[in-house]
Amino acid sequence: MDTKHFIEILLNCDCNFFTGVPDSLLSKFSSCLMEENKIKHIIAANEGNAVGLAIGNYLCTGKAAVVYMQNSGLGNTVNPITSLADPNVYGIPMVLIIGWRGQPGFKDEPQHIKQGEVTIGQLNLLNIPYIILNSNTDVENELPKLISRMKKRNGPVAVVVEKGALTGNYPVKKHIADSSLSREKTIEILSEILPKDTIYIATTGKSGRELYEIREKRHEPHHDFLTVGGMGHASSIALGVSLSTPDRLVACLDGDGAFLMHMGASAVINSCKPKNYLHVLLNNYAHESVGGQPTVSDKIDFSLLSKSVGYSEYYKVSSEKELQKVALSLSQKDYIGCVLVEILINQNVREDLGRPKITPEDNKKEVMKFISKFHD
């Protein structure tokens, strides 16, 4: 179905507030929303926040909002849905639009398989009525019926979207950081200059894929934790590693969307006062790996944030020369404390960028072997 027409049906059903977290399967949906200036649309930090926005909107308007997400984000919504929006609590109607990654019978990456298998079961367990959107769905009739049911039950309903179900040409209008650095070049420079025993934790998305290919090109072992799923949790994984290996530098390669998704982690990280934690914020102002939809990172002063949560040092770089200087300085220190380096990067990505050929299980084993090699 044409994406714009799908949105028009929602609008005709009096659902005129949209919020959510971008997903590659729903990239046309969020891009189309961004084209329409008359539509109220907010890209949320995480899916639970989006449910909160939907609840607040309903309290003021009495109208159901539309909350969109990848099915991996469904877990982030469980608490506010079951403890707030459920008909047995406050009874807040909303329409969940869920991109079905890892759908059984369709090839997908390992991190999506389990979530794809359990998505429908999760909705059944939560007693959330749903329809599945594909090329055979009679959307004109089924969607209004679903929304009518939502209004009667005073609670969430869901539209589970199969790959390719939403069509049309709706490119993302990108807001690009002013930088000559690509993410891949940035990772290449850091991994060249920082100590060879540095433990890298790469955030979900393309950071891990690029780090993997850099290792391949250099014929180096794959001992970096690639964090193929769990957006926003790489920084906490890195904290757990740093506290257990205090004599090794731990570098978290984080993205702006991931940083924003669980920004409270930065306060906890600094409360633990690690002496070996390098937090690299790869900031391109976008959810680049799922389509390039904007984040709000261009509106945040990370130098002030770094001071308020307690980072020992903060650097901001946007050129190869600046990055080399900072990386060299940090590499010469025995203990760096907890440092935040914000690196402005562009959104240039190689078209032939591959995916890791190592399984998550083997990646885990290689990381643990690398850590134990220098441990104690």
Question: Each residue of 227-256: pLDDT tens digit?
Answer: 999 999 999 999 999 999 999 999 999 999
Q: What is the CATH number of the domain that holds 125?
A: 3.40.50.970
Mean pLDDT of 15-29: 94
pLDDT confidence of 302, banded at 50, 70, 90?
Answer: very high
The residue count for the chain:
376
Q: By three-state DSSP, how is residue 348 classified?
A: coil
Same domain, yes or no: 194 and 343: yes
* Single-letter amino acid, residue 16: N
In a domain, 314, yes or no: yes
Cβ contacts of 355-364, under 8 Å, gap ≥ 24? 355/109, 355/209, 356/208, 356/209, 356/212, 356/222, 356/226, 356/228, 358/212, 358/222, 359/110, 360/110, 360/111, 360/226, 360/228, 363/222, 363/225, 363/226, 364/225
Question: Of the given ranges (31-35, 185-189, 302-306, 314-318), which has the lowest mean pLDDT?
Answer: 31-35
Same domain, yes or no: 156 and 267: no
pLDDT of residue 154: 97
Which secondary structure element, helix H or strand E, spans residue 115, and what is its range?
Answer: helix 110-125
CA angle 376, 234, 111 (to 5 degrees): 110
Same domain, yes or no: 144 and 204: no
Same domain, yes or no: 272 and 203: yes
Report the domain count for the chain.
Answer: 2
Two tokens, residue 15: 């659902």
Q: How many CB atoms lie within 10 A of CB 283?
A: 25
pLDDT of residue 76: 93
In this model, does residue 175 exceed pLDDT 70? Answer: no
Threshold 0.95, pTM exceeds? no
Same domain, yes or no: 205 and 304: yes
In a domain, 59, yes or no: yes
In a domain, 169, yes or no: no
Same domain, yes or no: 18 and 156: yes
* Single-letter amino acid, residue 175: H
In a domain, 172, yes or no: no
Same domain, yes or no: 124 and 49: yes
Same domain, yes or no: 204 and 151: no
In a domain, 57, yes or no: yes
In a domain, 228, yes or no: yes
Mean pLDDT of 46-53: 97
Mean pLDDT of 328-334: 92
In a domain, 168, yes or no: no
Q: How many CB atoms lie within 10 A of CB 361?
A: 9
In a domain, 176, yes or no: no
Question: Of the given ranges (1-5, 107-111, 267-271, 321-325), which has the lowest mean pLDDT?
Answer: 107-111
Two tokens, residue 191: 């991994």
State pLDDT tens for residues 112-159: 999 999 999 999 999 999 999 999 999 999 999 999 999 999 999 999
pLDDT of residue 38: 80
